[in-house]
Amino acid sequence: MQLTINGNLRNFDLASFNVAHLIMILALEGKRLAIECNGEIVPRSQFLEKQLKDGDKLEIVSAVGGG
């Protein structure tokens, strides 16, 4: 399965997995972030339910220093 994450294409060996799995695979567990899938926000409460599919475009964002 191929996903676009923060503008970069990434291949995954798994056929299907959810957003919570993706966070584990990317070693982002415990970090405060927000996720958008195909332009729609995925609320944290739905990380387990939200199944990802081939071609999905994800944005994963966090807070950084800014003025």
Partner 1 sequence: MADSLKIADKTYQSRLLVGTGKYKDFAQTRAAIDASGAEIITVAIRRTNIGQTVGEPSLLDFLPPEEFTYLPNTAGCYSADDAVRTLRLARELLDGHKLVKLEVLGDPNTLYPNMIETISAAKTLVKDGFDVMVYCSDDPIIAKKLEEIGCCAVMPLASLIGSGMGILNPWNLQIIIANANVPVLVDAGVGTASDAAIAMELGCQGVLMNTAIAAARDPILMASAMKKAVEAGREAYLAGRMPKKLYSASPSSPTSGLII
Q: Cβ–Cβ contacts within 10 Å for residue 26, how many?
A: 14
Which range touches partner 1 (CB under 8 A), out of 12-20, 36-44, 47-55? 36-44
Which amino acid is located at 39 in the chain?
G
Residue closer to partner 1, measured from CB, 43 or 55: 43
Alpha carbons 15 and 28: distance in angstroms, whole number: 21
Q: How far is the CB of 47 from partner 1 (least distance, A)?
A: 11
Alpha carbons 64 and 67: distance in angstroms, whole number: 10
Binding positions for partner 1, rule: CB under 8 A? 5-8, 26-28, 31-36, 39, 41, 43-44, 59-67
